[in-house]
């Protein structure tokens, strides 16, 4: 599961690798690595007070 930003970064990464742009590819990998939330399940919605 990836967020839209990382999906775009992944596409950019593929394009950079395909065109041999290693520095851009490295950039994309770093940016993708900055989204550690992907491993977590979606946060449960906050449970408010019981319905009155």
Taking CB under 5 A as the binding criterion, the range among 10-18, 19-27, 29-37, 43-51 that sits at the site for Zn ion is 29-37
Q: How many CB atoms lie within 10 A of CB 49?
A: 5
Contact residue for Zn ion among 1, 6, 25, 26 (CB under 5 A): 6
Tokens of 13: 């990464």
Nearer to Zn ion, 39 or 52 (CB): 39
Contact residue for Zn ion among 11, 26, 35, 43 (CB under 5 A): 35
How far is residue 48 from each of residues 42, 43, 45, 51, 52, measured CA to CA in Å?
18, 14, 9, 8, 11
Residues within the interface to Zn ion (CB under 5 A) = 3, 5-6, 35
């Amino acid at each position: 599961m990836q967020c839209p930003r990382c999906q775009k970064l992944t596409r950019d990464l593929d394009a950079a690798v395909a065109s041999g742009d290693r520095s851009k590819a490295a950039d994309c990998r770093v940016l993708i690595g900055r989204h550690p939330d992907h491993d977590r399940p979606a946060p449960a919605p906050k449970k408010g007070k019981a319905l009155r």
